[in-house]
A = this chain, B = another copy of it.
Amino acid sequence: MPRAFNFSAGPATLPEPVLRQAQEEMLDWHGVGASIVELSHRGPEFMGVAAEAEADLRKLIGVPDDYAVLFTQGGATAQQALIALNFADPGQPADYVISGHWGKTAIKQVKPYVDARIAASSESDGFRTIPDRATWTLSDDAAYVHITANETIHGVEFRDTPDVGAAPLFADFSSSIASEPIDISKYGLIYAGAQKNLGPVGISVVILRRDLLERAGQPRADIFDYRSQLKGESMLNTPPTWNWYLAGLVFKWMLAEGGVEEFARRNARKSALLYSVIDGSGGFYRNEVGPAVRSRMNVPFFLHDEALDKPFLKQASEAGLISLKGHRALGGMRASIYNAMPEEGVQALADFMQGFRKRHG
């Protein structure tokens, strides 16, 4: 079948030109007689790919010079553990603001290592809001304050960077990195699995203020030490070269399309369109997230009658709109509309939703 519009929350749709280039280069990268995935990570070919990827990412999202960039394995979840091992003393307080499922995962990882404190949580309202900054209880001696910039399951997103005082702000940006300009200097560290806005699954980026590396952290294996990883140019062991290469192609594509400013405009239009269809459906579709913190990346929604879920998914799939089933934790539907989802795809979904409502309303 032709390419569908794929609303998967991650691993997510990739830009078609990137896939076509990867396809073309699969058996022979730049005339060397081998695929990039078959070459040594320490050889000149891949070292060039890696250096370009870092330079392009720095340009794309505006990484300040006093911040280091790591390309890591293990996904965002491994980083959630490693940030405690690298930047907190054993048992030191660390403050977590929980605005959805992934914030809960983040705090779970660090419990063996730090005094993990919930500074604020919107769990009691079903994660439909983000706790008001005035209600946060921050520790005086926290190693860091952790937030989840965008929650992919609950569809809530920080629209501003909170001021947390002296402790550095650490943020999981897995599902919204590069979706709009952010001021990285307001953060001590941001991390992101690549499989949503940056490209392929299997690689993550960690961007951290270099002075944080002076912290002793906790006893840990060399492979879990960000200082060693930085010294080893993210190649302390064999890195996931193909994933890194593909992420690099996505960075180039985003730059060529106009950079994060352009994606911010597209993402605002895409999400506004879907929310307007939902809000204008007279209750046929609903999304209960507070309008001020609705995610521009993940739009969860429910049909007024659960019995319609199956026909909705079936007809959507027949119309070339796939991966709309919601996360099992919430049920319902979810449209993930990261940078690589074109506006035509969102328009096609909006049209389909209106047609479905007419047929079944």
Q: Which residues of A contact B (CB under 8 A)?
A: 1-4, 6, 8-14, 16, 19-20, 22-23, 26-28, 31-35, 37-41, 43, 73-78, 80-81, 108-110, 112-113, 193, 195, 200-203, 219-224, 236-243, 320, 322-323
Q: Chain B contacts of A75 at CB under 8 A?
A: 73, 237-239
6 nearest A-B pairs in the assembled complex, by CB-CB distance: A4-B33, A202-B240, A81-B221, A77-B237, A112-B219, A23-B26
Q: Which residue of B lies closest to A77 (CB)?
A: B237
With contacts A32-B4, A37-B14, A40-B11 taken as known, whether A223 is within 8 angstroms of B80 at the C-beta atoms is yes
With contacts A109-B222, A242-B242 taken as known, whether A76 is within 8 angstroms of B237 at the C-beta atoms is yes
Q: Chain B contacts of A76 at CB under 8 A?
A: 237
Q: Chain B contacts of A239 at CB under 8 A?
A: 75, 201-202
Docked pose: A345 CA to B312 CA in angstroms: 54
Docked pose: A110 CA to B221 CA in angstroms: 6
Q: Chain B contacts of A43 at CB under 8 A?
A: 8, 323
A–B Cβ pairs within 8 angstroms, 8 of them: A3-B27, A11-B37, A73-B75, A77-B237, A193-B238, A201-B241, A201-B242, A202-B239
Docked pose: A219 CA to B220 CA in angstroms: 12
Is B27 a contact partner of A19 (Cβ separation < 8 A)? yes
Min C-beta distance of A230 to chain B, whole Å: 16
Is A13 a contact partner of B26 (Cβ separation < 8 A)? no
Q: Which residue of B lies closest to A327 (CB)?
A: B42
Q: Chain B contacts of A19 at CB under 8 A?
A: 26-27, 35
List 16 additional contacts besides A6-B39, A75-B239; criterion CB under 8 Å: A11-B37, A11-B41, A12-B38, A14-B38, A19-B35, A20-B27, A23-B23, A34-B323, A74-B74, A77-B223, A78-B224, A80-B223, A112-B221, A113-B221, A202-B202, A202-B203
Q: Which residue of B lies closest to A33 (CB)?
A: B4
Docked pose: A224 CA to B109 CA in angstroms: 9
Assembly stoichiometry (copies): 2
With contacts A11-B39, A37-B200, A40-B8 taken as known, whether A1 is within 8 angstroms of B323 at the C-beta atoms is no
Q: Which residue of B lies closest to A6 (CB)?
A: B34
**Of B6, B31, B112, B223, which is within 8 A of A220 by CB?**
B112
Is A26 a contact partner of B22 (Cβ separation < 8 A)? yes
Is A242 a contact partner of B243 (Cβ separation < 8 A)? yes
Min C-beta distance of A12 to chain B, whole Å: 6
With contacts A81-B223, A112-B220, A193-B238 taken as known, whether A16 is within 8 angstroms of B8 at the C-beta atoms is no
Docked pose: A110 CA to B223 CA in angstroms: 10
Residue from A77, A203, A223 whose CB has the most chain B CB atoms within 10 Å: A223
Docked pose: A73 CA to B74 CA in angstroms: 5
Min C-beta distance of A262 to chain B, whole Å: 22
Q: Chain B contacts of A109 at CB under 8 A?
A: 221-223
Docked pose: A132 CA to B344 CA in angstroms: 68
Docked pose: A239 CA to B202 CA in angstroms: 7
Docked pose: A200 CA to B26 CA in angstroms: 13
Is A9 a contact partner of B81 (Cβ separation < 8 A)? no
Docked pose: A238 CA to B31 CA in angstroms: 33
